[in-house]
Amino acid sequence: MEGLQVRTGIDLVSLREFGRSLESGGETMLRRLFHPSEASGASIEKLAGIFAAKEATFKALDMPLGNWHVVEIRHDPEGKPRIIFAPEFDRSLITSLDVSISHAGEYAVACAVALVKDHAGGATAP
């Protein structure tokens, strides 16, 4: 796959630690990390999975952390998570992107796999 690079990201979230962080950060933290569509009625387990998926996506695409609303996680009718980017995000170098979320016991884990185009200079983006 000349001119393309496979990029992966993974994140593991402790439900206990994540719950404590949300409790101490309150509504402000919830609004900072999640779109209303992600947070509405979601359990700690679901929010932890969504957070892990966002982190994994940021890692796979080598994006700086902090602007959590650039990436939104939605679920299709079958429950599969999908990544939606904010309109201002340039995804022209992303050929394909997939994410998976799983829960086991006290943990949520997510993995993101991206196929990105190389750009001038041989570095990858975004």
Domain ranges in the chain are 4-117
Question: Which pLDDT value is given to residue 116?
Answer: 95
Question: Which pLDDT value is given to residue 64?
Answer: 87
How far apart (Å, rounded) are the C-alpha atoms in residues 18 and 36?
Answer: 18
Angle subtended at Cα 5 by Cα 3 and Cα 10, rounded to the nearest 5 degrees: 165
Average pLDDT over residues 105-112: 98
For the question of whether the overall pTM of this predicted structure is more than 0.85, the answer is yes
For 55-70, the pLDDT digits (tens) are 999 999 999 888 899 9
Question: Does the domain formed by 4-117 have CATH 3.50.50.60?
Answer: no
Q: Is the pLDDT of residue 123 over 50?
A: no
Question: Which pLDDT value is given to residue 119?
Answer: 66
User: Collapsing DSSP states into helix, strand and coil, what is residue 44?
Assistant: helix
